Amino acid sequence: MKEAIITDLDGRYIEPTLIADSVTGVFERMEPIRQDAVDAVGLAVASSVQDDHDQSKEPKTKLVGYTVAIPLPDGLYEPTFNVQGYRKAKADYDLAYVEYLGALAKHDPSSGKPAPQRPAPVDASSYWSNGLTEEEIEALQPKPVPTELDQLRIENAKLLLHVAELEAKSDKHTEATNELQSHNAALTQDHATLLLQLAEKGVI
């Protein structure tokens, strides 16, 4: 026995199941169509007058999903199987293989012409894919926890940044102080010049 995957109609993973080792491919899952109480009564009445042929008919069924007997790759999130894509690829391969066998039967090795090339088999597992987007997968990933060394590096970087900010503020303060001192010196010089001019004019 080996594992196969039960999917819904869109090929989305539902649960695993066990099948025979020799079984491979994609198979439809059918279920009987459920009848409500009224339909059940009507069916019971109608069945009493049906002929033998009608009574032998199988109940109606509907497609509810698939059994995918194809290996599921590891590491997929909410795996989804592309049923239609696989079936088309398989049909194309089967047709190409029949054509290959026909060409091989007609091939004459003594003709010197190359023998027909066998078509590449379908990589069935490649039709499994993630059912989540890259953003959804990334959101599920656990955030890395920093080690003690990483934490020390972070704290050291914060400390260095704080020191740099203090030095920048100190430089600005020194620059402002120097500017104020220069301004005061200019005012003092202007005041001395004014006094000299007044003295020369005999005002003081």
**Per-residue pLDDT reduced to its tens digit, 35-71:** 664 455 455 545 554 555 555 566 789 999 999 999 9
Same domain? 7 vs 63: yes
For residues 116 and 107, the answer to whether their CB atoms sit within 8 Å is yes
The answer to whether residue 4 scores a pLDDT higher than 90 is yes
**Per-residue pLDDT reduced to its tens digit, 77-87:** 999 999 999 99
Does the global pTM surpass 0.85? no
For residues 125 and 72, the answer to whether their CB atoms sit within 8 Å is yes
Q: How many domains does the chain have?
A: 2
Same domain? 150 vs 190: yes
Average pLDDT of the chain? 84
- Give CA–CA dist 88/79, Å, rounded: 20
> Is the residue at 52 inside a domain?
no
> Is the residue at 47 inside a domain?
no
Same domain? 119 vs 183: no
For residue 37, what pLDDT is reported?
42
Same domain? 11 vs 84: yes
Domain of 113 in residue numbering reads as: 2-33+59-140
The mean per-residue pLDDT over the stretch 96-113 comes to 91
For residues 66 and 17, the answer to whether their CB atoms sit within 8 Å is no
Same domain? 197 vs 177: yes
> Is the residue at 89 inside a domain?
yes
**Per-residue pLDDT reduced to its tens digit, 110-152:** 888 899 999 999 999 999 999 988 888 888 888 788 788 888 8
The answer to whether residue 99 scores a pLDDT higher than 90 is yes
Same domain? 134 vs 149: no
For residue 41, what pLDDT is reported?
47
Same domain? 128 vs 150: no
Cα dist. 188→49, 143, 191, 193 in Å? Answer: 126, 65, 5, 9
Same domain? 21 vs 73: yes
Place of tokens 């039960």: 6
> Is the residue at 160 inside a domain?
yes
- Give CA–CA dist 195/204, Å, rounded: 8
Same domain? 69 vs 152: no
> Is the residue at 54 inside a domain?
no
Same domain? 65 vs 25: yes
> Is the residue at 86 inside a domain?
yes
The answer to whether residue 179 scores a pLDDT higher than 90 is no
Same domain? 75 vs 123: yes
> Is the residue at 19 inside a domain?
yes
Same domain? 105 vs 188: no
